[in-house]
Amino acid sequence: MLYHDVLIVGGGLAGLRAAVALCDVYDVGLFSKVHPIRSHSIAAQGGINAALANHPDSRDDTPEKHAFDTVKGSDYLADQDAVRIMCGEAPSIVYEMEHWGCPFSRFPDNTIAQRPFGGGGYPRTCFSTDLTGHVLLNTLYERSVYKRVRAYPEFVTLALVTDGDVCHGAIMLDQIRGEIVAVAAKATFFATGGYGLVYYYSTNALTNTGSGIGISYKAGVPLKDMEFVQFHPTSLIGTNILMTEGCRGEGGYLVNNKGERFMEKYAPKAMELAPRDIVSRSIQTEIEEGRAFDHELGKYVNLDLRHLGAKKIMERLPGIRRICLDFIGIDPIRDPIPIMPAQHYSMGGIDTNAKAETATKGFYAAGECACVSVHGANRLGGNSLLDTIVFGKLGSAAIDQYLQSSTFEPDEGLLAARRKEVEEKVKALAGGGTERPFKILQDLRMTMSRYAGIFRTRDELNHALTTILELKERYQKVGISSSKLSMNYELIGALELESMLDISHVIVLGALVREESRGAHWRRDFPERRDADWLKHTVATLGKDGEPHIDYSNVVISGYTPMERKY
């Protein structure tokens, strides 16, 4: 059994920021499914929002204006107190990262460069070409090395150990040594990322199974607003690799097969820089109404950067150009980029407050696995990187306060018993089941993309719900070819599949009960936003019957009265 004062699960921005804040005082162990610099934070391209007022068009920008844009973009489902905290912290967070060595792009006066992003009233997205997540993650990882944070790469979390309303640690699979290990901790912090792989078309990495969310749910921790799934408007056809919003921030056009910049029909003022939910629905409408291009890999519209010129593309979007050359054999300097919408981000997640605290004492969460809620029904581009670092920092402060006031010690007997249960589960999976996990996963992902996607109806969601329940029945007969613990990806896939089924169940059920359209949740049978009935969060807990139970909580309104969004 391993022991740490603080157990951090996830080596991305949220986990690393918490680790570097706590390691001077406490024994911190940072456990990650992959090496920290392979975490999905590295895939963020376009930038991080902060009201620095460096851009010539944003001299009067303020954190309060950033907060308003965020609340408006959330379709008024974000908790406004938490939004103000995040936006207020943003400038100091960006300058802190700069002082720790992050190489931001610069304006000629040497201030941090900023570009426009969708839904923003000002150009406030700070960036480093189109590799912003990459440079932020490497900066924080270097900081963690400097501070000698104890990191455990290639550890997969299998269970969260709770007793009533208290967390005692977690059960891990050490893939290198081939051992199941109990990790005892006074405080546990999840920064495990999103669940993109429950969808067939997703910009997410293969590690983004949402297992941290599913494990928390299984341990009795509530999940919030899971029906709100963000679809990014521009993913590369075939691979669904992200084509950053920075492409449109730098002036890129979206064009249909008639040569029209079609966003003029849907958002005549903001055009391509409307919020992501609006742009995604607009592209999907163009596809469904026959104004898209046909390709063997699917239907698409064009993202056209050619008018920006070679110099600007190579200076501001070099990574995008390299991806296009490597994966589809086109040069965006000369040819438009074929794109389609794809699942991108999870607005919902583990229910937390603005201190990253959950309903379970000693258990915290931040980043994409958590729902504060600062994104509400739709996240603005540039706010995800900010969310991870801000609440990684604030979560570390809450953990520090908790540990200073607590005499709690984790129950090693409980951890040992839970470890034994997990070992038995692994043995059962290798006991000759007839269902193969990859087949169930394939059916799940296709079901979610077809029936719980950009547009939704009651009939489609009921079809998805019925299918998921059938897949859960099939999962009871799942089997793997080997119980070997060392680098056994079939085993990991089978274990994580249970979480993916649970997450999908909650997403679909939340979407079914929310009879309105708000942000990224668009019901064709209920096309209006209904504040009188649905200005509230959905909160899902695991019922005694093993089924999700949906309850509700109030949205915090502290200054911005809901009004119609116009772009």
DSSP state of 355: T
Instruction: Give the separation between CA 40 and CA 555, rounded to whole angstroms.
Output: 29
Residue with tokens 């150990």: 161
Which uninterrupted H or E stretch holds 168? Answer: strand 166-174
Residue 7's SS3 state is strand
Tokens of 182: 């109990």
Q: Quick one: 269 exposed, middle or buried, by C-beta within 10 A (0-12, 13-18, 19+)?
A: exposed
Residues belonging to the active site: 276
First to last CA, the chain: 55
Closest CA to 285 of 454, 529, 457, 527: 454
Instruction: Give the separation between CA 66 and CA 49, rounded to whole angstroms.
Output: 8
C-beta separation of 471 from 438 below 8 A: no
C-beta separation of 498 from 475 below 8 A: yes
Q: What is the CA radius of gyration of the chain?
A: 22
CB-based burial, 160-197: b 16+ in 10 Å, e otherwise:
bbbeeeebbbbbbbbbeeeebbbbbbbbbbbbbbbbbb
Residue 158's identity, in one-letter code, is: L
Which uninterrupted H or E stretch holds 283? Answer: helix 276-288
Tokens of 374: 């600062």
Neighbours of 409 (CB within 10 A): 10
C-beta separation of 28 from 6 below 8 A: yes
Q: Quick one: 421 exposed, middle or buried, by C-beta within 10 A (0-12, 13-18, 19+)?
A: exposed
C-beta separation of 159 from 422 below 8 A: yes
Which uninterrupted H or E stretch holds 253? Answer: strand 253-255
The edge-to-edge listing of strands for the beta sheet with 48-49 is: 48-49, 125-126, 114-115
Strands 293-295 and 548-554: unpaired
Strands 150-153 and 114-115: unpaired
> Phi and psi at residue 99, in whole multiples of 5°?
-70, -20
